[in-house]
Amino acid sequence: MKKIIALFFAVFITQLSFGKTADRQLSDRAKISVLTCGTGGQLYALFGHTAIRVFDPAEGIDRVYNYGMFDFRIPNFYAKFVKGDLLYFVDYDSYESFVVNYAYDNRSVVEQELNLSQNQKQRVWNLLNESLKEENRYYTYKFIDNNCTTKVVDVLNEVLPTPVKVDIEGNTANYRSILNTYLKDRYFEKLGINLIFGNKVDHPSTLLFLPDKFQAGLSHTMNGDQPLVKDEINVFQAKPIDTSVWWNTYWFASVACALLLALSMNRIVRSIYFIAMGIFGLFFLLVGFYSLHSEVLLNNVVFLCNPILLFIPFVNNKSKIKRILRLIVLLMLMLYVILNLFSEKLIITLPLYLLTLATLFIEFRSSVVKE
């Protein structure tokens, strides 16, 4: 009973403290900054991170608001992520703790102090604290439309007379091309992203959805008749580390596909390959119907990783059905080329495409010889 009362008291004090903090007025010494963090080795850190700092020495405030929080412990984490209903949330940390964490991971931190009026600073502060309320702090993560960067963009656009500039160098191509520039030394990550993302990412970019592009957008934005960025400093500069590995390259993948093609002269190897590609195709097809991520919808990758390939090893070579299945797969492979003729997706998936086409040809020849 004492523990329950103590817990209730702690929650009450926290809520009371939050209410006082949220209503606090910033002094004229307050500063609002955007923090842009560099890329990291983990998959979730490949594109960097954005946060926003509120510093007011007169009021003893030095907070970093972070919209990129998620909890690995929630049930069905990966299923929720794939489906598109995984809830991210906003929280804050001390500035010192935030920088130490990113420095520990050897990720650069750049701070841009914003040239805002006192009224604009107060509005940003109020919006950030409003987002901490239980009914506001959770949001459904979307890779392009709703992430740690776009949330900060939205906060600033609420208080600025004109939105942060979007059409900056490096952010005017389509989403796929922009994303691929971050994955030059990571072919298999690039392959995975290009396989799972559908038609939407081939549209021209209209959003500041990546941290360093947002950083550049801030530098090119005016707040009335003054530049929005007052000062920019490198808080922490990451040490250069060569993260490239010999096997995570386009050429290694091409050689591996050529080796697999040679092995596919064996019917068992060929059958395993068809089954694997068919399972991948079935996965992409189901994700297209199941997921709420608009980025994965209308994905023509099912013409490459074709679910029909699942059935080819199990149909008799002399069967007319098998000829029809092979013809359908071949036509879909041709359609895949046509649909991606002007997309980087075709070049990136070319080793896999040629392997599938050649393996299908071997299967066709094998059945003709047997007949």
pLDDT band at 318 (very low <50, low <70, confident <90, very high): confident
The mean pLDDT value for 306-320 works out to: 89
Strand partners, 114: 229
pLDDT band at 17 (very low <50, low <70, confident <90, very high): very low
The mean pLDDT value for 146-161 works out to: 98
pLDDT in tens, 323-347: 899 999 999 999 999 999 999 999 9
CA distance 172 to 278: 36
pLDDT band at 22 (very low <50, low <70, confident <90, very high): low
Residue 299 in contact with residue 340, Cβ under 8 Å?
A: no
Altogether, the residues listed in the chain come to a count of 371
Widest pairwise Cα distance in the chain? 88
Residue 55 in contact with residue 24, Cβ under 8 Å?
A: no
For the chain, give the mean pLDDT: 91
Task: Check pLDDT > 50 for residue 2.
Answer: no
**CATH says 2-171+208-236 is which class?**
alpha beta
pLDDT band at 8 (very low <50, low <70, confident <90, very high): very low
For residue 41, the model assigns a pLDDT of 85
Helix-helix angle 118-131:148-159, to 10 degrees: 140
pLDDT in tens, 247-284: 999 999 999 999 999 999 999 999 999 999 999 999 99
Please write down the HEC assignment for all residues of the chain: CHHHHHHHHHHHHHHHHHHHHHHCCCCCCCEEEEEEECCCCCHHHCCCEEEEEEEECCCCEEEEEEEEECCCCCCCHHHHHHHCCCEEEEEEEEHHHHHHHHHHCCCCEEEEEECCCHHHHHHHHHHHHHHCCCCCCEEECECCCECHHHHHHHHHHHHCCCCCCCCCCCCCCEHHHHHHHHHCCCHHHHHHHHHHCCHHHHCECCCCCCHHHHHHHHHCCEECCEECEEEEEEEECCCCCCCCCCCCCHHHHHHHHHHHHHHCCCHHHHHHHHHHHHHHHHHHHHHHHHCCCHHHCCCHHHHCCCHHHHCHHHCCCCCHHHHHHHHHHHHHHHHHHHHCCCCHHHHHCHHHHHHHHHHHHHHHHHHHHHC
Domain ranges of the chain: 2-171+208-236, 250-370
CA distance 90 to 86: 14
The mean pLDDT value for 122-142 works out to: 97
Residue 303 in contact with residue 339, Cβ under 8 Å?
A: yes
pLDDT in tens, 66-101: 999 988 888 888 788 888 888 999 999 999 999 999
Radius of gyration of the chain (CA): 26
